[in-house]
């Protein structure tokens, strides 16, 4: 069933109550506290300008284990040539803006609304949201952003202006940042080709809530 959130109460239903398509709740707001509560419980917002705020908790979840990321021979060759350079949190606002506006094959419009850009930029200012930037000759050509919760990077979106730039960003994220898991949320063929796999909601939540101090 789909729950209606009260903007005056900071709470979510348990993610196990989500519909088959992952939809769990509607309404609420994009405040820092609500977003952090959502991500801490395996829930994330996904909606468009012409709809209310929708909250999802898909089961199973599509994830990448950083140690198992797949790098094709052609991609390994690209990385060896050092065509790209990388940075972290250097241009968060530009990355999210490009994720929102870049043209994508077989996709009309974007789900990254201005309200979401403002909300996630605030998370970035507070150190909860992060970006990976991919540069070529000093120009930003690719990147990704997401929310980091207890060692789990909840990926929100990525973009690429040149071939292989978004792939390079994901590989850099997996190899250069110490993470338990990369949460891709939903399946895509592209992410599957890079090592993405399904994980049950129960197992996902167990990883998300595990105390890192005892690892």
- Shared domain check, 189 and 116: yes
Structural domains of the chain, count: 2
Q: What percent of the chain has pLDDT over 70?
A: 94
Supply the range of the domain harboring residue 21: 3-59
- pLDDT tens per residue across span 32-62: 999 999 999 999 999 887 889 999 999 999 9
Q: Is the dihedral of CA 77, 78, 82, 86 positive or negative?
A: negative
Q: What are phi and psi of 59, to 5 degrees?
A: -140, 115
Q: What are phi and psi of 17, to 5 degrees?
A: -85, 0
Cβ-contact 168, 134 below 8 angstroms: yes
Q: Is 118 exposed, middle or buried (0-12, 13-18, 19+ CB in 10 A)?
A: exposed
**Which of 12, 29, 59 is where one domain is finished?**
59
Q: Of the candidates 38, 64, 46, which has an alpha carbon nearest to the alpha carbon of residue 198? A: 64
pLDDT > 70? residue 1: yes
Q: What is the CATH number of the domain that holds 22?
A: 3.30.70.3550
If you average pLDDT over every residue of the chain, what do you get?
Answer: 93
Q: What is the CATH number of the domain that holds 94?
A: 3.40.630.70
């Amino acid at each position: 069933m789909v729950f209606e959130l009260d903007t005056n109460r900071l709470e979510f239903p348990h993610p196990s109550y989500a519909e088959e398509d992952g939809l769990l709740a509607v309404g609420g707001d994009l405040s820092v506290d609500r977003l952090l509560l959502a991500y801490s419980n395996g829930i994330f917002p996904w909606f468009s300008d012409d709809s209310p705020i929708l909250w999802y908790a898909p089961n199973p979840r599509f994830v990448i284990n950083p140690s198992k990321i797949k790098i094709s021979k052609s991609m390994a060759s690209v990385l060896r040539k050092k065509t790209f350079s990388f940075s972290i949190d250097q241009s968060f606002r530009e990355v999210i803006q490009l994720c929102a506006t870049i043209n994508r094959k077989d996709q009309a419009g974007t789900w990254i609304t201005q309200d979401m850009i403002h909300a996630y930029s605030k998370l970035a200012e507070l150190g909860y949201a992060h970006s990976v930037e991919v540069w070529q000759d000093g120009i930003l050509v690719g990147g990704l952003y997401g929310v980091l919760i207890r060692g789990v990077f909840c990926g929100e979106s990525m973009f690429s202006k040149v071939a292989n730039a978004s792939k390079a960003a994901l590989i850099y994220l997996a190899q250069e940042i110490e993470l338990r898991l990369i949460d891709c949320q939903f399946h895509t063929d592209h992410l599957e080709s890079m090592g993405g796999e399904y994980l049950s909601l129960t197992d996902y939540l167990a990883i998300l809530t595990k105390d890192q101090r005892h690892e």
